[in-house]
Structure formats: C-alpha cells, structure tokens
Structure 1
Amino acid sequence: MTRSLSPIIQTRRWHRLLMWVIGLQMVIWAISGSYFALMNIHFIHGDHLVTPPARALSAESYRVPFNDLRARYPDATGFSLTRIAEQPVIQMTIQGQLRLLDPQTGALLPPVSESLAKRIGQQAYQGSGTLSAAPLLTDTAPSELSPRHLPAWRLDYDDWGQTSLYISQLSGELVTKRHRYWRWFDQLWYLHILDYDDGEDLNNLLLRTAACLALAGTLSGALLLWFRLRRRS
C-alpha cells in the first residue's frame, strides 16, 4: 500500500514547482516596479528636454475672418491661432487631424519641410547635444510613436540620453519625445504587464495567469513558513 505524502511535503513540492514556473517573472516585477517607483515621472517624460513654445498672439497676426474659414472648410471641426517656428499660423482640425493655414489668406499651407522641422526642434530642444539625423517617417511608426501621428519628422540628438523629438509633418507640433530612460521605462512596462504588443492591455490572459501563479506560490510559501513555525513551537 502506497503511503500518502504528508501535507508539508506536498506543499513544498507545489511551492518548488510554482516558483520554477513564475520565479523569473516575480524577479522582473520586482526590478521593474523598483524602477517605476524610484524614477521621477517628470524626468521620464522628458519635461527637462523641451521648452513649450510661446503661444501669445495679437489680433493683428491674422486677417482672414473665421466665418470665411468655416465656409471654405465645412468639414473642419475647429480653428485656433498659434505659432510654428515663431511664425503665426492657423491650426485647423479636420477629419481628426491638424492642418496648417496661412493666417493672412486662409490657404492651406504645405506639409512641414525638413528645414522647418529642424527649426521647430531647435527652438524646443533644451539638451546639450546636436542634431545627428532627421528622417521622415511616413509608412511605419516605431513603437514609441503612435501611428496616428504619421507622417512625422524624427529629430535625433547625440546627447547622453539619445533624445528624439517627433514633429508632425501636417501640424508642425511636437507630438512626443523620447530618451534612453523613457525607452527603458517602456520596455520594463511591457515586461511588467506581460503585454508585448502595445503595452496597453492590463487585463490580458498572460498577466492574469502569471498573477494567479504568483499568488499560489506566495501562499504555498507562507504555508510552509507556518508549518515550520508550528513545528518549532
């Protein structure tokens, strides 16, 4: 007759098996969680790398009546007056995108050129590096840029953080920025929530499974500790 294993032996075996399966992920959670907690989120977001452009404009900056703009662009959902590289322009929201208009005539302005994108970046960038590359992204966006911002100019700087500024070719806006420590944050976030696609699904099956295994491993470890303490007493 086979002798049944004692509860402590069964618990130890299950605990060992669970930790072999989920132990590495628990270490990753500890490392990534520590990084998230220790790093200043404003530093991660690169707030120190750029200066917001001045937006104050006078009424003399434009001459075209907004009623005329409404009539000329009936599909537009909004107009605003702003500056691009110190030049006043009208930003028009149409079909979910921003387009630039001449503030004097209301005519649609051409897409932002490479030279204009560099001027926008020069005014915004506050780092210590110099511009090393300025490719135009049209078809495929890197993981750090939402495809909805295409086409966009990527301005790469040779500073300590390998900073990149992304300038929309349609609106001239600085749509996002990245540096080394933000990229590390993104990669750790993917590992933390076990979503290797876009890092936005906090309720994916893999994460829920790992969480259940980690909980089972923790509870079995706590049970082993209770067995040991009870034996000593």
Structure 2
Amino acid sequence: MISNIKPIYLLSDSQLLFSRDTTGQYFLASVKDDIGKVNIKAVYIGWSNGNQPEFYELFKEGMKNLQIMDCRMISSEFTATDKQDLQHADLILLAGGDVIAGWERLSETGAAGIIKERYVSGAVLIGISAGAIQLGDRVPFAADNESVEMMKLVPYIIGAHDEANQWSDLKKAVHLSGTEGIGIPFGTGFKYYSDQRIEIINKDKELFYYIR
C-alpha cells in the first residue's frame, strides 16, 4: 500500500497553478505523472474561502494547463453527491482562506477523514496557503498558548507567505509544540513524499526551515 502513496503538493499561493519553469514547462506538470492515469478526476474544496466561485474558476484554469478537464467543486453542504465525488477523486485541492473556518467544516463533515483515506489510496493532494497548513501538523499560530492540530499528513507545522513578518507565528508555534516548521514564501512550494523527502518546486525561492 505504501508504494501507492503519492506526493503532497504544498503551495504558498495559486501562482504555481499558472507559472512555468525556465524550459517553459508548468511547475505542476508532474502532477499528471504522479497520478499515473489518463482520465483524472479533480475536486476543489474552497471551504476556507467561503466557496467563492472565482477561485474555483482559477482552479479549473490551472487544471486546464495540465490537461485535466474533469473538475468538480465540493460544496460546503457536503451532499451525498459531494461525498461521492470526493471519495472517487484522483486529485484533491484544498484552497486558501481562513484556516480555522475551513478546518472546522472539514472536521464536522468527516471530509478530512475521507481526504486521508484517498491519500492512502493513491490520490494526489494539493494544499494552497490555508490548505497547505491544513495538511500539516497544526496551525502556525496559537491562542492562549494552544494551537489547533490539523490532518498531520505532513509532519511539519506549515507557514505560508509570512516572510514579511519573519515567520514570527510559525516560530512561536514551533517553540510551543516542539514540532519542526517549514515556511513557504510567495511564489513557491514543495512536494512532500511519504519517505519524508522534500522537493522544492520553484527553486528560485528558498523554503524557511525552523527547528526548535
């Protein structure tokens, strides 16, 4: 089963859905190879941004760049059809927005558990900003010296585009929990493999590693 597990893509923002490397290839071109099939079903979860339709349209445009045309938006009502679409997805993208608001809905609907099941079964996961944080260990900020645990599919506290503040929230979360952190600057991201390898996607930018 372990050999079927695909990498997780953690992105600071949506730029990499449209950006190309110096050879003209899309940075996320490897997504199709990772999935390893022709007819790919991709789903978008925008619960962190209140299901704003313009962000789903960005998702579809980004998928079109990768020749992935079968796209669905999972509504926050999480109907029986939504659940079925999620259970059969080859690619699942968690969008940015409000980390906690999105996480609460993922938890109370059981969607977080389904996402974990799909990951183990071979789906590729992509998290953008809040979505990247939700795939990590816990939120990179804390209230009353406590931080909310996330899916823990990536064993790091993830911070996104907070370089202007020198990753202050991420540093605090690392000190409180003892869990290592990775900050993802604007315009970049990384692939996390099940053997704990990390591959930077846009090597023009460096990740911020923080160890207690």
Q: TM-score normalized by structure 2?
A: 0.24
Which has the larger helix fraction?
1
